[in-house]
Structure 1
Amino acid sequence: MTSGLSLDEALQRLPRLGQPLEVTELPGGLTNHNYRVRTPTHDVVVRISPPGTELLAIDREHEWHNSTVAASVGVGAPVVDYLPGEGVLVVEFLPGRTYGPDDVAANLPRVAAAARRLHGGPEFASRFDMFEVQRGYLRIVRDRGYAVPEGYDALAPAAARVEAALASRPEPLVPCHNDLLAANVLDDGGDLRFIDYEYSGMNEASFELGNLVNESQLDHDHLVELVEAYHGRATPRLVARAELWGLAGRWAWTLWGAIQHGVSDVDHDFWDFAMERHELALPLLTSRRLDDLLDAAGGPA
């Protein structure tokens, strides 16, 4: 469990940074508090995790290791320091701008290229299985009595069919980011970078692609474009697997929002987050089109 240090307490335990000259809180984090800290010798981002984030299936030791691996292949920010057990990670500040959904849509070949660099790198320390994560989230929600969107449990049989179809012909596992919100893509005019490796782990590339498209709420044509940019082809099977993995993400991230609604001190409407994912997953999980996708996911590569 993280201890929930204040920024001043964290900086006292990071003497190598030196005396801060300027500190700016960075906007946009849904789990942590992020600060840009400039000293005479460093320009870094200090990420402080509040207590309770261990409920979200985040392993801070694995995050630290995977962040260093991502930096080694030029996709992540170089890691400067880490305080084990304290929820504090320090990485170099990378200049550039973070994306919004429209930026992702306009740069899908570049996003695919960055994903291929990451996926082709050394193995990550952990495995990320969205269905196992969902089951863990569900236990927490039930144990703690957190609210979930109405009708969520009724979708479980359809989600089980999706899991079975994806497991019938699994893809190789590669080091994945697994949480590519638009805001986790950084553009400095060169190769794109991915930031924030809390949910990183070995996974199928199709999850990365489908989850990325869904988190930016892009359409099916964008999904096909991304799959083709990544694989060099967009067969029915590859597109179906990416779409189904994206659907699994919406199914599971609904519970992430429910847990955050119960525990987080971040100023964000997490119930709205949960409802949005649920309402986006619902139509496909209850549609006849789901059968076509399940069949295609097991078809020829």
Structure 2
Amino acid sequence: MKMTKETIQIYINNEPIECIPTNLGLTNDIYKATFMDKPVAIRIPKEETKDLSTFDNEHYVLPLIKDLDLDAHELYYNPETRIRITQWIDNAIEFKDCVMEDKIKKSAQLIKRLHDAKIVTNNEFDCISLLYEYRNKVTHLLHPIDDYFTIANEVRNIHNPHILCHNDLVSGNLLFAEDRDYLIDYEYAKDNDPLFDIMSFITENNIVDKSQRQQFYDAYFGKEPDDQVKKELFTFEKFHNLLWCTWANMMFNLFNEEVYKDIANEKYVALLHNIKTGDSI
């Protein structure tokens, strides 16, 4: 990989490609380029995150979801380097920038389409082990998160069937274009409790308004969740805030970039609210 003032040059099959950096991606760097005479997005993992255990299932998942019409069209993928090239989606708007009134409903429908396929890969997304993996890589704590690791025990006591889930429903992974909607980036995709995915979407996109949460539940469940489901959703809400606070703390230690510190602060505040009030933020 070769740096220039405005572009990066990478080699795919020994052919050089000039790439334009974007501001997209947190664990990856995303570039825009031309490949096979098409405008494409090139995803290159950050060197410091290559040894994380999370990403060992994507090469298996991608063929399984191909017919679900969720992801962007893939042109190249190397499972060893995790470099992936997909079509560049023109005029695509990510969730946080989308102004459509029904974007929450559309997001729920995308997530439900993945869950309704009931794919089982027999490769578990072990969110508790991941929490401890992130914690072990934290060199300097930004917040006293260790006080709340007992939330992991609450997650252990939830025993719903596990199916293929996305597990990383941040704004940039939900794209809305003129022709269709997209659910992209399956690096974290493994078998998990679908309620984890629901709370991934809600917490990662700061859906704090209860009426907006209800919009999602109506579109996903088709009815009001019962008390047990609500209790489990709240457990996952607390856990998400703890998990991604820990992840952001780790990333801040690795890169010393304020974006990760901001995420850690935001997640910690949300976690404290959960703990102190016994309710969603």
Please give the range of the TM-score, normalised by the shorter of the 2 chains: 0.7 to 0.9
**Secondary structure in structure 1 of the residue aligned to 2:137:** helix
Please name the residue that 1:32 is paired with.
28
Higher RCO (CA < 8 A, seq sep 6+): 1
Please name the residue that 2:174 is paired with.
185
In the TM superposition, residue 47 of structure 1 has moved relative to its aligned partner by 0.8
Establish whether residue 78 from structure 1 lines up as the match of residue 73 from structure 2.
yes
Unpaired stretches in structure 1, ≥5 consecutive residues: 291-301
Question: Residue 146 of structure 2 is aligned with which of 153, 169, 174?
Answer: 153
Establish whether residue 11 from structure 1 lines up as the match of residue 11 from structure 2.
yes
Question: Residue 128 of structure 2 is aligned with which of 131, 137, 140?
Answer: 131
What is the distance in 1 between the residues matched to 2:123 and 2:73?
Answer: 20
Give the TM-score of the pair, scaled to structure 1.
0.79
Partner deviation per Cα, 1:140-173 (whole Å, 9 max, x = no partner): 32xxxx122332111223x1453244x2xx2221
- Identical positions, percent: 18
Please name the residue that 1:203 is paired with.
192
Partner deviation per Cα, 1:68-103 (whole Å, 9 max, x = no partner): 433331111222212343231112222322221665
Contact 2:95 2:172 in 1 (8 A): yes
Please name the residue that 1:294 is paired with.
none
What is the distance in 1 between the residues matched to 2:26 and 2:42?
Answer: 15
Please name the residue that 1:227 is paired with.
217
Establish whether residue 163 from structure 1 lines up as the match of residue 159 from structure 2.
no
Contact 2:176 2:182 in 1 (8 A): yes
Give the TM-score of the pair, scaled to structure 2.
0.84
Greater per-residue strand proportion: 2
Greater per-residue helix proportion: 1
What is the distance in 1 between the residues matched to 2:168 and 2:188?
Answer: 6
Please name the residue that 1:238 is paired with.
229
Please name the residue that 2:85 is paired with.
90
What is the distance in 2 between the residues matched to 1:211 and 1:191?
Answer: 22
Contact 1:37 1:44 in 2 (8 A): yes
Please name the residue that 2:272 is paired with.
282
Assess, with a 3 A threshold, how the Cα gap between structure 1 residues 91 and 65 changes in structure 2: closer, same or farther: farther
What is the distance in 2 between the residues matched to 1:160 and 1:88?
Answer: 32
What is the distance in 1 between the residues matched to 2:37 and 2:98?
Answer: 36
**Secondary structure in structure 2 of the residue aligned to 1:11:** strand
**Secondary structure in structure 1 of the residue aligned to 2:217:** helix
Two-structure CA RMSD over aligned residues (Å): 2.7
Partner deviation per Cα, 1:220-243 (whole Å, 9 max, x = no partner): 332232122111112222233223
Unpaired stretches in structure 2, ≥5 consecutive residues: none
Assess, with a 3 A threshold, how the Cα gap between structure 1 residues 109 and 224 changes in structure 2: closer, same or farther: same
In the TM superposition, residue 105 of structure 1 has moved relative to its aligned partner by 7.3
Q: Which amino acid aligns with 1:155?
A: Y
Please name the residue that 1:254 is paired with.
245
**Secondary structure in structure 2 of the residue aligned to 1:30:** coil
Number of corresponding residues = 272
What is the distance in 2 between the residues matched to 1:187 and 1:42?
Answer: 20
Q: Which amino acid aligns with 1:97?
A: I
Assess, with a 3 A threshold, how the Cα gap between structure 1 residues 132 and 228 changes in structure 2: closer, same or farther: farther
Question: Residue 254 of structure 2 is aligned with which of 259, 263, 282?
Answer: 263
